[in-house]
Structure 1
Amino acid sequence: MTSLPLRTHRLTLAVQFSLLCLLPTVAAAQDAPGNSARTLDTVQVTGSRIKKAELETQVPVQVLTREAIDRTGYTSVADVVQHLTASGASLSTKLNSSGNFGFPPDGGGVGAGAATVDLRHLGPKRVLVLVDGIRWVNESSGSGVGSSVDLNTIPLALVERIEVLEDGASSIYGSDAIAGVVNIITKKNADGGHVEVQYGDYNLKGGDTTSVDMSFGKSGERAQWIVGASWFKQKEVASTEYKWATVPVPGTGLANGSSATPQGRLVFADPSGKTYNITSNTGVTSPVFDPGQAACSNGNVGPRTDDYHCFGTPDRYNFAPNNLLLTPNERKSVFGQVRFEFTPNVSGWFRGMYSERESANQAAPEPFFLGTDAGVYNDWAEKNLVISANNPYNPFGFDLTTMGSSPNLFLIGRRPVEGGPRRYEQEVKTWYAAAGLDGTFEVNQRTWNWDINAMTSESKATQTNTGSYNIKHINQALGDPAACAAIAGCVPLNIFGGPGTITADMLAWISPIVRDRSKNTLSQASANITGELFDMWAGPLSFAAGAEWRRYKGEYHPDPITVAGEYNGVPSGVTIGSYSVKEAYAEFDIPLARGGFWGKSLDMSIAGRYSDYSTFGGTGTGKIGLRWQPADELLLRMSFAQGFRAPSIGELYGTLSRFDATLVDPCNNAASTTPKCVADGVPPGYEQANPQISVVTAGNRELDPEESRSFMAGFVWSPGWAADSNWASKLDLGVTFYRHTIDGAIQAPDAQLILDRCIDTRDAAACASYTRNDRGQIVRFEDILANLGTINTSGWDFTAHWLLPEAGWGQLGFDWKSTWVSRYELINESGQPEPKGPGVEVNDSAIPEWTSTLTTNWDFRNWNANWTMRYIDRLRERCAGANGFPICTDSVADQHWLGATTYHDAQVSWRTDAWMKGVKVTLGVNNVFDKNPPICLSCTLNGYDPGTYDLPGRYSYAKLSMDF
């Protein structure tokens, strides 16, 4: 692949453009300035590499202190950051399914058991996660090479605070920082021990959560050290605990249930050419077939008097009760770090962590589809199958085959409930080690800071799958009994009777234990320097510069039967890949004015980074920011940044794999005779055999990096007349406007939109993506990754902090944060907008127009109480097309509304220093009023959107903390 040239001309244009916009544009911040300057040690804040005493930078940084984290009652880093108003849907213990989601169309695997963070609804891949300013290794998935950080590998016990930068920062930190940066700052200073125990559950219906955190450390004149351990265990919650999760789609009956049933659906032709679409009667284990009865297809749907009847909607299988609302998760971690001062100017440090996670998810018993219409990308099921007339369980008396020029087996959908649900169990081990030196020296009587560091880490996962099937063994067991007898262990298989007809011996032959392995490693080294170069007319010119090297390695090894094409589930091949990157950056903080016409201060920051990738070559990014404080109580800020995201290992090297998409064929039933459907090769009377269509995706080594542009502007106002008044001790008000544009977004086109576009417009590229057989069934659908999309999103953040004066009854404070997404537009490869947007629920995720959090906090002596209200704006979704389900709020407009939802959380705590160094008792309830999420028709699991809403049910917890 050819290297990209250094785009210095683009950086120059960006800087020139930003300079022209500086004076008339204002910008925003998270924290308001004080009324007077503070004398502080120099520190480094997320969003800048320059150490300085002034904490306010050109970009908004949301700081979640340890106290704020504790007040949420959450027990993981993921839960904390996923509840920010700027966060979108991402993997969690609520949104996690290996079986139903299979391989997502991004080359990375489903990340079973992992938890990630999404900022600005741009996806977890576009968020950079740091720990103490250093990158963290990507998660190891059960089904591919992951491209996001699993926050479950970072125990909450070691977290001092979390800094969230909701702005592009590629010029500061490199790739992935398109939507923002999450920097997790760990505990470093301790003097004694700390133990914390917490227990909670959901309305006594399950989900019991227990956590124990311990740490101990000492701080001396020259050394500080801390060690700790963390244990977390969360039990599962079955979907049967929530009534709306026990039907495939709430309010629709079995219309969207599966055609693979315990009785079996059979679509075949007899020797005369008569085509049948039948299923056996309930409770019949040895059905009798009468070829003289109604065929139930091609208009012949009369009654039958044998042991079969015409297949219809009431026969579909309800897979929902087998799912989980909450997946089980157990995590164990140990960590430690030490810092030693060798001389007054040179210090060294070491930090290490090891964690293990055991998790699981579950799906309905795995179906198998056989026949030319199966569309499962498996030759054993579609092309090489003969169900012998000699098979003792074949009730038809003739061969059913997919082979030859005249196959007569079109579809068998059988759900072997005898084998139990699919269970996917993960074991993930992650280790991390980092060390470094830092210090100071004098240059022209100015103090410069330097540091060098190195890090290596690995995340390794094994996923064990039970309840799945070997399609080759199924083929052999359905064939000639004499051929089966010649194969050691082969037992003839009965798929024609009802539940219970597949015996233990049959299951032993067709049910393997599937084990998949994956691994991600990251090695990194960097050197940085920062200080003041010289005095300018308005103050010293500060700078930071550095160089960095990183190497990523990733691999995924499916079970040998998967590689051989014998697995009934998602086929895939081995993925192995690596790449390295060398980078250099420079950042300058330029004081433009102090006092006079420009008020208190005016500063500009400029940053640039050049990255050289072994996979695609070199690229440069730049950033410019302005910080203007016209008065003590007003701060205005702006930034413009270029960004990029390098293709991940899974996106580059991922081998062919399949995910099952739920698609509605526009040519189904009556529509089959329309000219557009006839042109697509659909015969009259066509009926879509299965709403789940297998779609193949794969990585693409020709992918280019995604490129982005980010703009942020706004203000923070701390009115002096409100400070220390009789009604306010402090009042801070903030507004931030943001805009992100991503070009060449790496994605697989939405399969439903491809299908719709082909039928509506006969778009050649869309129509080339899938293949129909002569019966009209879609049997091949390819959806390969490419640089296809353009994403444009913009919106506003609003913040307010009001602290009342302290009184005899205590002190009351209010903290309000709100995000309004005014625009989100994803343009596909044909230049058309996809349906994802503000206020829309689609593809199991949503972008609410408004999300808001209001926390009321009360402190009185040893007591603290807080009440938090979390608001999610209403959403709309399609209402299952022409089906017109009664639950739809507007069937005529094909629209269903998910009403606005407000959750209430409460917590009270009491602390005393009379015992040991301190004891604290906390009681809390999240979702105090037991609010259920709104019913979602388009969501494929559990009847609601778990990426947007809380788990159904009230969560109560108790926590005991002790210092000694």
Structure 2
Amino acid sequence: MKARRHTLATAIKIAVLCALPTLAVAQEATTLDTITVTGSRIKRAEMEGRVPVQTISREDIERTGLTSIGEIVQELTGSGSALNTKFNSSGNFGFSPNGDGVGAGSAQVDLRHLGPKRVLVLVDGMRWVNESSASGVGAAVDLNTIPLALVDRIEVLEDGASSLYGSDAIAGVVNIITRRNFEGGQVTLNYGQYDKGDGEITGADFAWGFNTDRSNLFLSLSYTNQDEVSSADRRISSIPIQGGSSRIPGGFFSFRDPNGVVYDLTTNAGLNNPTYTPNLPDCDSGVPRTDGFHCVDFSTEAYNYAPFNLLVTPSERTGVFGQYRFSFNEQLNFYVKALYNRRESTNQAAAEPIDLGPGAGTDYTANLLIPADHPFNPFGFALDGGPGGNLITFRRRPNEGGPRIFEQKVDTRYVAAGLEGSFGGERQFFWDVNAAWGKNEADQTNHGSYNARNIAIALGDPAVCAATPGCTPLDIFGFDTITPDMLAYISPLFRDRSEQKLTQVTANISGGLFPTWAGDVEFAAGYEYRKYEGSYNPDPQTVAGEYNGVPSLPTSGEYDVNEAYVELNVPLYAQKDGAGKIDLSLAGRYSDYSTFGGEFTPKYGLRWQVAEDLLLRATYAEGFRAPSIGELYGSQSRFDALLVDPCLVPAGAPAGSTAPIACPGVPVGARQNDPQIPVLTGGNPELQPETARSFTAGMVFSPSFAEGVSWSDRLDIEVTYYRHDVEGAIQAIDAQTQLDLCATTQDPQYCEGITRLASGEIDTFANFLINLGSIKTDGWDVDVFWTLPETSLGRFKLGWQNTFVTRYEARGAGGQLQPQGPGIVVNDTAIPEWTSNATLDWKRGNWNAAWSIRYLSEMEEACLAADPAEFCDTPTSNTLAATTYHDVQLGYDFDWLKGLQLTAGVNNLFDEDPPVCTSCSLNGYEASTYDIPGGRFFYVRANLRF
């Protein structure tokens, strides 16, 4: 990519009006503390009013009753769909196209619905290492690698910030500020569970610190254990809303007999030794068979895989963190910090299918030959899956092997050290030099999957099997036919591993340059070096092409970047009485990547304090995101997408139906027997960086008539408009959109990579990453913070936060409109038009309480239910009704030692079920947006200071 080189002076293109306030604290327009906040590198500047920053305090965190940073930030009104422990992401949920694997057990953050990979996560202003899922090399941070016990507050910048922080900060920045200056000890014990008696959470945090005149030390130890919730234990998730699978326990056999007659058979219920009688009438005759088989009817016999999944995945997390700070003198400080975190998590899916014949996942299973003399072949003739063979397809769900279980162990290590200082006389300058190293490595053990090579040997020539150590001839014809000896040969363990490392060095300086009549011109400047290294190493059996499940190959790569930035705060106007003030901010960063070259990103902001109680501000920023290691070098993988093939007759349609679209090479009347279509994904070394433009404009109004009066101590009203435009977004075209365009246009740009079997069903579907056309989104944040005067009833505080998404439009490289949009659910992601959180806090003496309301507006989706009459409004669409959750909490502070606080609460007090989602991959609801079905959650917490 050719580097873009221009200067700040030539890049000022817009007239700015106003900007958004800091949500968290509702920083008033009249009192802006002189501290560094997320969104600026300048120290001791009035920057809090310049950019949209939310601050989630320790008190806010404890009010939620949640135990994960990811769960907390996912409840922000500006948050979008992201992985969490409610995603049972291994198994059929499959691989994303981003080269990051399945992200099993992780928790991520999405801002403005632009995706987790476009959010930069910092800890104390330094980047955190991206996740390794054990199945890929991710482009986002797993927030479950950062223990909640070490958090003092979380600052969330909802604005483009590439000029200040570099790549990935397109949608915003999450900066986790650790606890320091902590005196004494604290023990926190947590317990909670759902009212169904499952999903138990236990946790214990220990914090201790001391301070002297010249040093301070903080240590924390945390433990959290989240038990599973089975999909079988909730009504919505216990049934396959999209219809069951064609991989059934009795097997589905489609073949041509020696007379050339095609049969689509399955085993009669319960038989483990079926008999086959040749030359009986074919299935189209309607004459029942009289042997051990019958003609399959998927409208009644499809397999219910749903009960074997998980609604909440179990997760056990242990973290140790410490930091020490020492002051040599008033001008020089030293710090060092270190963290170790272990996450052990589990995902589960139904028994792994065994597919044989054309379209099977490996050469071993696609081209196998089951000879006539195989001891368990009931047909009396060979079944040949090779070219020109008589085996059309074979599908079997071997329940004897149990469900697939994916166990992850994820270790995160982090070390950082630095020097901070100042110099100068009347005009002070502040500097810091920092170095940090982080490593995230994951191992995954897969139980219940199969070795395709061993399957082929065990179903092949009996003499070859007899000569192969450990081989036992395999019986897959019938129910419960696979013995433990057979399983021992075809079902070994599979172990995958991945890791990521981040090394970074930064140097920064800030201070006042010179005075003007309106105030000091202030600046910040710095240099940053980062090196990224990542690798994914699947099991050797997988590398050899023997894995019966999702194929994948090793991935490895690295790149580094050198960056320099400068930021200026220029006062333009100031009234003598301080009531009015206008400041201009300018920032720019040049980044030189070893993978694609250089990039310059500017940012401009205007802050206008119109009066003591009114602040207007705006920002305009250009940004970019470099492709990650997984996106560049990720190997080919596969996921099973829920797709409607317009070239095939829908499952369950009456006999004689035709497909919606007649497609070349698809036989008339061919049916789609399974809603899950395997889609191949993978990285693309030709990818270029994404570029972005962001704009925010808004106001904060803190009316003086509402300050210190009988009905109000303080009132803050904040309104913000935001807009993000991303060009060349790294993304795969929506698979359903690609399939529909291929069917309707037969254009090679859409059909290339889609191949079909002789039966008409899709054999391969290539859906690799590209630089997609664009993503454009805009909307409004409207927030109200009101503190009432203290009375005999206590003190009340009200916070009401709202996000309105007015546009979300994604287009492919050829201009194809993607299906995402405001008020729409698609591909396990939801974009509500209106999200609202309201919290009423109360405190009286030692008592405190909170009542929170979370609201999500109604949304629409395409109806993919097998029975539209039961689950959908129309045969083609479904409305997800507006949903409101109520959370309550009550606490009491005891005057014992330094304080004992007991707290009890209920989340989802009125047991609101999520609306049914017929297009979502698993469990019948959208897991990144809604609470789980049957989700009234009770918790208690004890917090002792000493």
Give the TM-score of the pair, scaled to structure 2.
0.97
Provide the C-alpha distance between the structure 2 equivalents of 1:798 and 1:345, rounded to a whole number of angstroms. 42
Task: Verify: 1:128 aligned to 2:120, yes or no.
Answer: yes
Shift of 1:293: 2.5
Which of 378, 389, 399 is equivalent to 1:395?
378
SS in 2 for 1:887: helix
In 2, Cα distance between equivalents of 1:295 and 1:137: 60
1:513 match: 493
Aligned to 2:894: 912
Alignment of 1:875-914 (within 5 A): 875-880=859-864, 885-891=868-874, 894-913=876-895
Q: Is the contact between residue 839 and residue 875 of structure 1 (CA under 8 Å) also seen in structure 2?
A: yes
Query: Match of 2:77, as an amino acid?
Result: T
Q: Which amino acid aligns with 1:351?
A: K
By how many angstroms is 1:662 displaced? Answer: 2.2
Q: Deviations over 1:594-633 (max 9, x none)?
A: 0289961001100000000000010010000010011000
1:412-427 equivalences under 5 Å are 412-427=394-409
Change (3 A) 1:104 1:27: closer
2:443 is paired with a residue of what secondary structure? strand
Note if 1:830 corresponds to 2:814.
yes
1:61 aligned residue:
53
CA distance in 1, matches of 2:852, 2:401: 45
Q: CA deviation at 1:55?
A: 5.0
Cα gap change, 1:713/1:528 in structure 2, threshold over 3 Å: closer, same or farther? same
Distance in 2 (CA, whole Å) between partners of 1:597 and 1:221 is: 38
What is the identity, as a one-letter code, of the residue corresponding to 1:885? P
Unaligned runs of 5+ in 2: none
Q: Distance in 1 between matches of 2:663 and 2:402?
A: 43
Q: Which amino acid aligns with 1:167?
A: D
After TM superposition, give the deviation of residue 895 of structure 1 in Å: 1.4
* TM-score after normalising by structure 1: 0.95
- Tell me, in whole angstroms, the C-alpha distance in 2 between the residues paired with 1:895 and 1:570: 31
User: Distance between the aligned counterparts of 1:741 and 1:599, measured in 2?
Assistant: 36
Q: Which moved more, 1:693-702 or 1:915-924?
A: 693-702
Distance (whole Å) between structure 1 residues aligned to residue 855 and residue 213 of structure 2: 48
Q: Which residue of 2 aligns with 1:926?
A: 907
* Alignment partner of 1:292 is 2:279: yes
| 1:904 partner amino acid | H
674-683 vs 650-659, which moves further? 674-683
Q: Secondary structure at the match of 1:669?
A: coil
State yes or no: 1:466 paired with 2:451: no
**8 Å contact 1:638–1:711 — kept in the other structure?**
yes
Q: CA RMSD in A?
A: 1.8
The corresponding residue for 1:341 is 327
The one-letter code matched in structure 1 to 2:205 is D
- What is the SS of the residue equivalent to 2:888? strand
Shift of the alpha carbon at 1:58? Answer: 1.6
Residue 751 of structure 1 and its aligned partner are, at CA, apart by 1.8
- Any idea what SS the aligned residue of 1:756 has? helix
1:367-446 aligned at under 5 Å gives the runs 367-374=353-360, 376=361, 378-383=362-367, 385-404=368-387, 406-442=388-424, 445-446=426-427
**Residue 535 (structure 2) aligns with:** 555
The alpha carbon displacement at 1:261 in A equals 0.6
Larger mean CA deviation between 257-266 and 595-604 belongs to 595-604
Q: 1:587 aligns with which of 567, 571, 580?
A: 567
| In the alignment, structure 1 residue 482 sits paired with structure 2 residue 463 | yes
Matches within 5 A, 1:776-791: 776-791=760-775
Q: Which of 5, 8, 13 is matched with 2:6 structurally?
A: 8
The superposition leaves residues 48-78 of structure 1 with CA deviations (integer Å, 9 ceiling, x where unpaired) of 0001253523211101111111111111111
Q: Which stretch shifts more, 300-309 or 426-435?
A: 300-309
- 1:345 partner amino acid: Q
Letter in 2 for 1:366: E
Give the whole-Å Cα distance in 2 for the aligned partners of 1:536 and 1:184.
35
CA distance in 1, matches of 2:445, 2:872: 42
Asked if 2 retains the 8 angstrom alpha-carbon contact of 1:205 and 1:237, the reply is no
Of 729, 734, 740, which residue of structure 2 is paired with 1:750? 734
Partner of 2:226: 234
Residues 336, 918 of structure 1: alpha-carbon distance in 2 compared, 3 angstrom cutoff: same
Q: In structure 1, which of residues 796, 806, 809 is the aligned counterpart of residue 790 of structure 2? A: 806
> CA deviation digits over 1:283-311, x for unaligned, max 9?
11111112332322xx4444222221111
1:440 offset after TM fit, Å?
Answer: 0.5
Structure 1 CA distance, aligned partners of 2:589 and 2:550? 41
Q: Which residue of 2 aligns with 1:360?
A: 346
Which among 18, 35, 42 is matched to residue 50 of structure 1? 42
Q: 1:705 aligns with which of 689, 702, 706?
A: 689
Matches within 5 A, 1:107-122: 107-122=99-114
| Helix, strand or coil at the partner of 2:80 | coil
Distance 1:677 1:773 in 2: 17
Contact 1:400 1:409 in 2 (8 A): yes
Offset at residue 951 of structure 1 (A) = 1.7
CA distance 1:279–1:701, shift in 2 (3 Å):
same
Distance 2:76 2:281 in 1: 59
Q: Distance in 1 between matches of 2:104 and 2:564?
A: 35
- Superposed, 1:273-312 pairs within 5 Å as 273-296=260-283, 299-312=284-297
Q: Conserved in 2, the CA contact under 8 Å of 1:278 and 1:295?
A: no
1:717 pairs with 2:701: yes
- Alpha-carbon distance between aligned partners in 2 of 1:234 and 1:592, rounded to the nearest angstrom: 54
2:383 counterpart letter in structure 1: L
The match for 1:102 is: 94
- Select the residue among 41, 61, 75 that pairs with 1:83: 75
Paired with 2:329 and 2:29, the residues of 1 have a C-alpha distance of: 37
Equivalent residue letter for 2:385: T
* Aligned: 1:792 with 2:776: yes
CA distance in 1 between counterparts of 2:517 and 2:397 reads 78
Matched residue, 1:252: none
- 3-state SS in 1 of match to 2:738: helix
| Alpha-carbon distance in structure 1 between the residues aligned to 2:121 and 2:213 | 32
| Identical counterparts, % of pairs | 53
Q: Would you say the 8 A contact 1:91–1:115 is kept in 2? A: yes
The 1-side partners of 2:888 and 2:737 are apart by: 43
Aligned length: 939
What is the letter of the counterpart of residue 4 of structure 1?
K
SS of 2:38's partner is coil
CA contact (8 A) 2:733 2:818 kept: no
Please, which moves more after superposition, 566-575 or 395-404?
395-404
Relative to structure 1, the CA distance from residue 77 to residue 679 in structure 2 (aligned partners, 3 Å threshold; closer, same or farther) is closer
Change (3 A) 1:34 1:414: closer
C-alpha displacement at 1:205, in angstroms?
2.5
Contact 1:373 1:410 in 2 (8 A): no
CA distance in 2 between partners of 1:335 and 1:479 (Å): 56
Residue aligned with 1:418, SS? helix
For residues 154-169 of structure 1, what are the structure 2 equivalents within 5 Å?
154-169=146-161
User: 1:294 and 1:205, CA in 2 relative to 1: closer, same or farther beyond 3 A?
Assistant: farther
Q: What letter corresponds to residue 478 of structure 2 in structure 1?
A: G
**Structure 1 residue matching 2:772: 3-state secondary structure:** strand
Distance of aligned partners of 1:35 and 1:104 in 2 relative to their CA distance in 1, 3 Å threshold: closer
* 1:669 Cα deviation after fit: 2.8
Cα pair 2:648 2:760 within 8 Å, conserved: no
CA displacement 1:669-688 (0-9 Å, x = unmatched): 38999899555211223223
- Check conservation: 2:648, 2:660, Cα contact below 8 A: no
* Contact 1:168-1:180 at 8 Å conserved across structures: yes
Cα distance change, pair 226–373 in 1 and its aligned pair in 2 (3 A): closer
